Amino acid sequence: MENNVVIGIEGLVGSGKTSISRELLKYIPNSILLHGGNIYRAIVYAMMNLKPDLKKMIKESKNLDVTKIMKKINLEVKLEDRETVIYIEGKKINSSDLQSQQSSLAVSAVSNVADNKNLYEFGKNLIDSYRENYNVILSSRDIVRMYPDVTYHFFITADLKERVNRKYIQYNKNIPIEQIEQTIISRDELQQKSGYYDIHNITKVIDVTDCKSVEESTEKVLKHIKIKATA
């Protein structure tokens, strides 16, 4: 494990974190992608679609222990095709269901009332288990607090207009662009309040506003990683 690295990718809503993380898989040898944020998303998905009683649990909780909900819905994290996927009650949850606009806003709200201590311990143990055999690309929130031993930590930024346009395209232009902008502004406020936009000493801020492709954005990140890359 001591020879493997953990590359943490965080950033503003709509800045392209997931796309950059996936692109890094092409260049970082023996690597896997751990979608840490999908754990929160899966909990919210279950709350909205599978177990309505979770709404009451969240509404009434001032220090919500997310791991209790994980157990309640039998959430499992598995590795498939070099990326982690989420199972609930033995059923694989599609990424598209976890990435909806409604789910994204709800995730920000849930994280704002959650007590993350036990979840961070779960995340740290999960990262360590994968790091035993792989270089880990970690797309998540609050990475440095959850995993202080992260080798590289990047915070991806882009201006609001660019982020709105990217989300507009992601949603196949089916959602009014004004609505997307308001959602991003609301999520930014919630993420900021939760402390998820904090910059640490180890953090390298990468502005991808002017990048015309995910390849260009990823190249900006790769310039700061000292590891033998493969094309």
Task: State pLDDT tens for residues 142-175.
Answer: 999 999 999 999 999 999 999 999 999 988 888 9
CATH 3.30.470.10 is right for the domain spanning 6-35+100-222? no
The pTM (predicted TM-score) of the whole model is: 0.88
In the structure encoding, which two tokens stand for residue 90, read together?
């033995």
* pLDDT over 70 at 102, yes or no: no
Query: How far out from the chain centre does Cα 178 lie?
Result: 24
Residues 204 and 215: their CA atoms lie apart, in Å, by 18
Range with lowest mean pLDDT among 18-27, 60-69, 84-93, 113-122:
60-69
- How confident is residue 90, by pLDDT bands cut at 50, 70 and 90? very high
Q: How far apart are CA 216 and CA 218, in angstroms?
A: 5
Residue 8 and residue 150 in contact, taking contact as beta carbons nearer than 8 Å: yes
pLDDT of residue 98: 81
Cβ-contact 32, 130 below 8 angstroms:
yes
Give the pLDDT band (50/70/90) at residue 65. confident
- Confidence at residue 62, expressed as pLDDT on a 0 to 100 scale: 61
State the angle between helix axes of 101-113 and 177-194 in degrees (0 to 180), rounded to the nearest 10. Answer: 20
Domain boundaries, the chain: 6-35+100-222
C-alpha 76, offset from chain centre? 16
Lowest mean pLDDT: which of 29-38, 103-112, 214-223? Answer: 103-112
51, pLDDT greater than 60: no
pLDDT of 227 over the 90 cut? no
